[in-house]
A and B are shown apart, each in its own frame.
Chain A
Amino acid sequence: MKASRREFLKATGASSLSLMLGGTYSLRVLAQSQDAMVQHEYSGWENFHRNQWSWDKKTRGAHLINCTGACPHNVYTKDGVVLREEASKDIAPMPGLPEYNPRGCNKGVCGVDYQYGPHRIKYPLIRVGERGEGKWRRASWDEALEMIADKIVDTIKNEAPDCISVFSPVPAVAPVSFAAGHRFAHYIGAHTHTFFDWYGDHPTGQTQTCGVQGDSCETADWFNAKFIILWGANPSITRIPDAHYLSEASLNGTKIVSISPDYNASSIKADQWLHLKPGTDGALGMAMAYVIIKEKLFDVHGVKEQTDLPYLVRKDNQRFLRESDVVANGSTGKFYAWDAKTGKAVIMKGCWGDEPAQKGPPVAFMGRNTNTFPKGYIDLGDLDPALEGTYKIQLKDGSSVEVQPVFDILKTRIMKQNTPEAAAAVTGIPAKVIVQLAKDYATAKPAMIISGGGTNHWYYSDVLLRVFHLLSALTASEGKNGGGLQHYIGQWKPTFLPGLAALAWPETPAKQRFCQTTIWTYVHAEVNDEMLNSNIDTNKYLRKSIATKQMPLLPANGRDPKVFIVYRGNYLNQAKGQKYVLRNLWPKLELIVDINIRMDSTALYSDIVLPSAHWYEKTDLNVTMEHTSINMTEPAIKPMWESRTDWQIFQALAKKVEESARRKKFERYNDEQFKWVRDLTNLWNQMTMDGKLADDEAACQFILDTAPQTKGITMAMLRDKPQRFKGNWTSPMQEGVPYTPFKNYVVDKKPWPTLTGRQQFYFDHDTFFDMGLELPVYKGPINADKFPLRFNTPHSRYAIHSTFKDNVQMLRLQRGGPSVEMAPADAKARGINDNDWVEVWNDHGKVICRVKVRKGEQSGRVSMWHTPELYMDLIEGSSQSVCPVRISPTHLVGNYGHLVFRPNYYGPGGTQRDSRVEVKRYIGATPMPL
């Protein structure tokens, strides 16, 4: 590789070269090009290319990287060398819709690069230099695993099992790999981590409104929409395999509006682009609600049946009117509406306190299991709940209170606060344009809002999502193909959750320690979020939430974390508050283990690094929310060098812990919390179900067999072609119809899994009142950093988070390294030119990188493609250096009906978008490369 490069540069005269024939010169002129058409024999050099396009083995391949694509590929191998991959193009089409094929992207066609590339970890490595320096010594598997096992046993013995933590995200991608470390943690008593919330991808506002972890339609359903608002979503860059549905919908007559501060790769495809000021989306949304309500464009029946907007609220204390207020021994989980027909308050069916005859088992992704209610349960029938008015109710103590429907309160507020004129002043979008947008949205059927990281990473993203939900509830577009609020961030949805959970936490998740990663990081990294500048005392809410066990903090009893095992995730590189993490959290960790195919930033800053098999060297599954076909990967070749699959690595570690426990005479311990006497000498049997799951493929099949969503699908079938799920989360799977969520509630009319049994917009909870968030409302961005420019970190088309950031082909299609993008006016004001080095800083940290001046960027904001690896061409820091961890108090609520902590179901995200920075030209030295 190196030699040929030197040759190449020599032959071309390197950078100083101009091809010798540079300049204009005359050519031999031919009167007719045809004259030159000599017939050639195609037997000589042409065969070179024919040979290039040949192979002797074709296998299934997938890219196991949280890209959300889950694109089935074929991998081509010749003479034992993997050559390349190509989209397999065999997802079954659906009638009347453009097909999913070909599914892939620019990174996917370079998947093989990580197999043979210079980033590959070949052997177990033990750090001999400083953390982050890159000085290693090669170790044997035995030595490395023994060191880890000994430390684990010592830590359990001398400290506590919850001082050991295992981080591995995104089970939809390679669930067997995911389960490996989680199952190991499960049996030794260590804690694992949440990730969906920590990454800021969890649609907290949707959990609040709908009582589900999250759910969205598969992207083929975009084609069914008549009107699409891209709201903080840039699919041309972040959903490359799916973006075609937008242009195809557009060619099919669908109107597309892109709402985004900058003119981006998706705005260019829209009929209209609206460039609001960053973070003012909520003002726009509320003004749309104003128009829809004022012009009576809302679906009255839908609002009465599917939302809590008719529910009665007491005027004296702003709480819902509950049955317990009215009747002795009444339920606190039953709520009323005012029936206009009978002139009486009636209890609405399907509330929290209303249980089905046959109670279903808890479902991890639902606030409560409402599946066993009969169909049609929340149908209004003869009921006509009032949306407006004030009524008198007699309470059980004989006194009476005035009550008012939620809708009435909301409407009054909106009419006062959210006029299009007021929104125009905030957003920069003219009032007339807002009015038109609202009318177009409300009258097109079906209309869809597609949102993404642009709107979900704000401090107040939960209420913003509630505003979007309000729009989709007012227009009754949920639960309908082509409609609804659809959010896409992260490949977070393991549709086969029951199968996955059985593999990862075999004694049930109830017997697993889960920490909430945002809180874990915030506390142990001692983050200063500077939220006091915005008059919000995070610690007040956090302390209370932890003390009352609404949210967990591990290790318990004020201990520090000691052992950190990270794999399939780049915790350090992605960490918000990165400076705090490196300065305060990292020194607390006595052993950091990273298991990886490549030397990423977390690996580089670890103590022991173990080589993991590449995606084309192991068997595993891959699913996504973007489509409903499950696909797989399998070994094209054996794991290279000394690498092993994650499933095998944790089995080997289990054996080493057994040995160490015997050696250290610490074979058993009593885990008080779970009343579980753990046997550390039987781990391998537990890991493998007495050997039955020892093989990776057997573990895959176990997931498929155990989940109702995939039962009946075999690995042999997946080898043949991708297979569609047999069941799903909140809607049935229908032949030939794209999946869209919430049909169980909208079509089948079972109660929504929320406290109120409806899409819930009113939260009579102290924290919500305290924060002024009891109803959908516009909350501006946080300005706690006293710096002039908003700092934006969108996803790049050349990377999936940090993966592929260091891919040579991707870097050549950029400018060789990370950069921050800036509007021409902002650059000019600072004397900055395109491709200069710049310093970007605030009180949390600094990043020094190159700048790209981009006309489509809005003045007042800079954007940096999020999370380049720390070792990339940065003079200092990285994109996360200037972003602290900021916890929204409402995310800490865990004692309110469907708002409870469950891993990745509900918990704080940490936010990313509200950071502010200043930028100046960097005039220091730029170190020379080697």
Chain B
Amino acid sequence: MTQRQLAMVIDLNKCIGCQTCTLACKSQWTDRGGREFMYWNHVETRPGKGYPRDWQQAGGGWEGDKLKPGRLPRLAEDYGIPADFSFDATLFKEGEQPLRPTEPMQWGPNWDEDQGAGEFPNGYFFYLPRLCNHCTKPACLAACPRQAISKREEDGIVLIDQERCRGYRYCVAACPYKKIYFNPLAGRSEKCIFCYPRVEQGIPQACAYQCVGRARHVAYLDDREGAVHRLVNEWKVALPLHPEHGTQPNVYYVPPLSPATFDANGKPTGQPRIPDDYLVELFGPAVKQALAVLQREIARKEKGEASALMDMLIAYKHGDMFRLGRPPEQRS
């Protein structure tokens, strides 16, 4: 265990799928140099194949103390070649040339956006933002024969040493979340760095600090005042994604509620349309209890009673969502 672990909670009831986080991260870190196709943070529609395509079927993670085999995603078919365009030909040269991707897109970070599952009018979908989980037991780290991956003592951030990395990609296969990307130009693997240059200055991660859904809380897991500890350990409403992979993720999710389904006569049934089973598949069996707590606390609010949990999730003050050990007024 590292001394401290910085962790994030993403409230899926507040995430609107706007991709501000995705692009805040991209414009900060990955908009050039062979990183164009990689999204250290992305938001995918669930249910869906996600990004990279079918990552949930690509293996990796732990089986007890053993690493499970994993598959490498393919660039064109699973990540999608990042579309590029000939603006000059379209806009500044003679002839009518439409602005068309120079390579046809076969997939992308958000290909199946809003498509979801189920049949009208009882279909369902929600948004799942994903980034490296800075796991307590990182499979990527264990898989690297060069010991290029490390977990920082002071905050548990998992980093790939760009000087040690030789681009073997064992880590890519080992990560059950497929959150490491191979940079074909640099010949090295790269991943979310949890914005350590910002974190070191007490400024939250770009994805979290820019989240306009106000859905993300960041704090040290052992900080009893921090929202993360309270949501994860006290209220137990924030859960890791696919805990069965055994990496012990440090990004947690408040599971989504959903509008009622309709019966055959078009009357609302009162039953949420996202099947519990599906959420159990993603977040494990604890999700049922988490949903029950959320519903109970919302009902309190509806009756005009107080709820410390709801107040925390509402997050009246933006600054309260982050505790990184620096004064909140010190902002970028």
Q: A residues near B, CB below 8 A?
A: 4-5, 7-9, 11-19, 21-34, 36-40, 42, 44-46, 48-50, 52-53, 74, 84, 86-87, 89, 93, 96-99, 101-106, 108-110, 112, 117-119, 129, 132-136, 236-237, 240-241, 243-244, 247-248, 250-253, 255, 258, 263-273, 275, 428-430, 432-433, 599, 604, 797, 806, 808-809, 811-817, 823-824, 852-859, 869, 871-875, 927, 929-930
Contacts and interface: CB of A to CB of B under 8 A. Distances in A.
Contact of A8 (B18, B36, B125, B214): B36
Given A52-B197, A241-B212, A856 B101 contact: no
B142 interface: yes
B77 A272 contact: no
Given A19-B75, A89-B318, A855 B116 contact: yes
B83 A816 contact: yes
16 contacts: A16-B76, A18-B77, A24-B69, A33-B138, A40-B159, A251-B14, A253-B303, A271-B260, A797-B19, A806-B99, A808-B83, A813-B19, A816-B83, A816-B108, A873-B98, A930-B97
B76 A17 contact: yes
B103 A15 contact: yes
Contacts of A268: 124-126, 256, 258-259
Contacts of A14: 76, 81, 103
Contact of A604 (B91, B143, B169): B91
B151 A37 contact: yes
A432 B298 contact: no
Nearest to B274: A268
B331 interface: yes
Interface in B201-226: 206, 209-215
Given A251-B313, A823-B120, 16 more contacts: A11-B184, A33-B137, A50-B200, A53-B197, A102-B212, A118-B85, A118-B87, A247-B13, A253-B299, A267-B259, A268-B124, A268-B259, A813-B19, A813-B23, A855-B116, A930-B102
A274 B2 CA distance: 50
Interface residues of B, number: 142
Nearest to A34: B1
A109 B24 contact: yes
Contacts of B103: 9, 14-15
A23 B71 contact: yes
Contact of A272 (B114, B123, B260): B260
A27 B67 contact: yes
A30 to B, nearest CB: 4
A814 B69 contact: no
B169 A19 contact: yes
Closest A-B pairs by Cβ, 8 of them: A253-B301, A118-B87, A253-B302, A11-B184, A135-B94, A236-B16, A45-B162, A30-B142
A16 B92 CA distance: 31
B20 A240 contact: yes
Residue with the greatest number of chain B CB neighbours at <10 A, chosen from A32, A93, A247, A806: A247
A69 B169 CA distance: 42
B275 interface: no
B310 A270 contact: no
Contact of B96 (A5, A49, A132, A250): A132
Interface string B70-97: 1111111100111111111111111111
A4 B265 contact: no
Contacts of B83: 808, 811-812, 816
B101 A817 contact: yes
A919 to B, nearest CB: 18
Contacts of B169: 19, 21
Contacts of A873: 98-101
Contacts of A98: 214, 314-316
B13 A251 contact: yes
Interface string B30-63: 0111101000000000000000000000010000
B14 A248 contact: yes
B235 to A, nearest CB: 13
Contact of B185 (A7, A17, A134, A270): A7
A927 B98 contact: yes
A853 B117 CA distance: 12
A36 B18 contact: no
Residue with the greatest number of chain B CB neighbours at <10 A, chosen from A8, A101, A809: A8
Contacts of B150: 36-40
A147 B44 CA distance: 52
Nearest to B18: A240
A11 B13 contact: no
Given A26-B69, A855-B118, A428 B266 contact: yes
A433 B185 contact: no
A105 B212 contact: yes
B289 interface: no
Nearest to A113: B27
Contacts of A44: 161, 163
A913 B66 CA distance: 58
A927 B126 CA distance: 36
Contact of B93 (A27, A87, A134): A134
A76 B94 CA distance: 37
B301 to A, nearest CB: 3
Contacts of B114: 264-265, 854, 856
Given A101-B318, A102-B212, A106-B22, A856 B120 contact: yes
Contacts of B18: 105-106, 236, 240, 243, 797
A537 to B, nearest CB: 38
Nearest to A256: B259
Given A37-B151, A119-B91, A814-B110, A109 B20 contact: yes
Contacts of A243: 16, 18, 212-213
A15 B79 CA distance: 11
Contacts of A132: 96
B214 to A, nearest CB: 5
Given A813-B108, A816-B105, A873-B99, A265 B123 contact: no
B312 to A, nearest CB: 10
Residue with the greatest number of chain B CB neighbours at <10 A, chosen from A93, A97, A871: A871
Contacts of B72: 18-19, 21-23
B142 A129 contact: no
A266 B29 CA distance: 30
Residue with the greatest number of chain B CB neighbours at <10 A, chosen from A32, A250, A264, A266: A250
B170 interface: yes
Contact of A27 (B101, B170, B259, B314): B170
A12 B314 contact: no
A240 B75 CA distance: 31
Contacts of B282: none
A361 B258 CA distance: 52
A37 B76 CA distance: 34
A269 B16 CA distance: 8
Contacts of B108: 812-816
Contacts of B268: 272, 433
Contact of A106 (B23, B125, B141, B315): B23
B19 A8 contact: no
Contacts of B24: 86, 109
Contact of B82 (A52, A428, A812): A812
Contacts of A250: 13, 298
A858 B120 contact: yes
B332 A247 contact: no
A603 to B, nearest CB: 8
Given A813-B108, A855-B115, A36 B210 contact: no
A42 B17 CA distance: 35
Given A132-B96, A599-B92, A33 B101 contact: no
Given A49-B29, A98-B316, A109-B210, A247 B14 contact: yes
A808 B185 contact: no
A632 B96 CA distance: 38
Nearest to A263: B123
B212 A244 contact: yes
Interface in B259-292: 259-260, 265-268
A61 to B, nearest CB: 13
